[in-house]
């Protein structure tokens, strides 16, 4: 079997004195899986994603992603790790409003040292694939929510990440745009992209996940293959 993309061993994250936000989670994600992390508000979903992204450090346990011991990285190493191996998509897009769509998408490639022309060509190709190439020279503020999220996905993919992480990617979208983004994530996974997404959106989980992991109080309460309806 191919090496896992994510391997969490007994991962715990405590903030202050309260109960742990993530409590002894062990989880393996293999290449090509699309895992939907479900659970009530406060169950530790975002914390789990942040630990995988190296945005946060576990109090205990190990986080290995694409062969990298993420829990051992310092700040610079973690930033480099994210740029090279992770694509991230957020609820509110997090695009830079004073850069054009194309420049937003190119930015992570340029920060990784890709020559400007190569980055521009790859950005153009992604924007076309994602159906937003006609907006390449526009500023994100001119786009609809669904279009902005497509641009955010293009930016997340530009460095060909081993793992795409998404935290409530349809959370701020109207029904039609939400459907667009569901379709897009599902197509990316069908093309082999490994995805972990956190969501309250059961339609999203049902349409694009190959597996659902439900958290309760920072622990895995349920871990099952997605329904055969996909």
Footprint of Mg ion (CB under 5 A): 46
Part in contact with ligand ADP (CB under 6 A); list of ranges 34-42, 93-101, 114-122, 151-159: 34-42
Q: Which is nearer to Mg ion, 48 or 157 (CB)?
A: 48
Nearest approach, Cβ of residue 43 and Mg ion (Å): 9
Selected binder of ligand ADP within 5, 35, 36, 47 (CB under 6 A): 47
> Does 44 contact ligand ADP by CB under 6 A?
yes
Selected binder of ligand ADP within 46, 64, 149, 177 (CB under 6 A): 46
> Does 17 contact ligand ADP by CB under 6 A?
no
Q: Beta-carbon neighbour count of residue 191 at 10 Å?
A: 9
Q: Which is nearer to ligand ADP, 7 or 56 (CB)?
A: 56
> Does 41 contact ligand ADP by CB under 6 A?
yes
């Amino acid at each position: 079997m191919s090496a896992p993309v994510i391997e969490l061993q007994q991962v715990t994250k405590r903030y202050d004195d309260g109960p742990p936000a993530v409590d002894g989670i062990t989880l393996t994600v293999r290449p090509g899986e699309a895992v939907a992390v479900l659970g009530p508000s406060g169950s530790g979903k975002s914390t789990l994603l942040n630990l995988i992204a190296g945005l946060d450090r576990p109090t205990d346990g190990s986080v290995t992603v694409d062969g990298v011991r993420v829990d051992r990285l310092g700040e610079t190493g973690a930033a480099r790790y994210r740029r090279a191996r992770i694509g991230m998509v957020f609820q509110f897009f997090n695009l830079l409003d004073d850069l054009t769509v194309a420049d937003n998408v190119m930015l992570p490639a340029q920060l990784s040292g890709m020559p400007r022309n190569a980055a521009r060509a790859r950005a153009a190709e992604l924007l076309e694939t994602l159906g937003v190439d006609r907006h390449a020279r526009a500023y994100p503020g001119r786009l609809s929510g669904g279009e902005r999220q497509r641009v955010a996905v293009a930016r997340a993919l530009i460095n060909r990440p081993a793992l795409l992480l998404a935290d409530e990617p349809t959370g701020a979208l109207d029904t039609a745009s939400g459907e667009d983004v569901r379709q897009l994530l599902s197509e990316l996974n069908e093309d082999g992209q490994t995805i972990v997404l956190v969501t309250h959106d059961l339609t999203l989980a049902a349409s694009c996940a190959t597996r659902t992991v439900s958290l309760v109080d920072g622990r895995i309460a349920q871990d099952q293959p997605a329904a055969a309806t996909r």
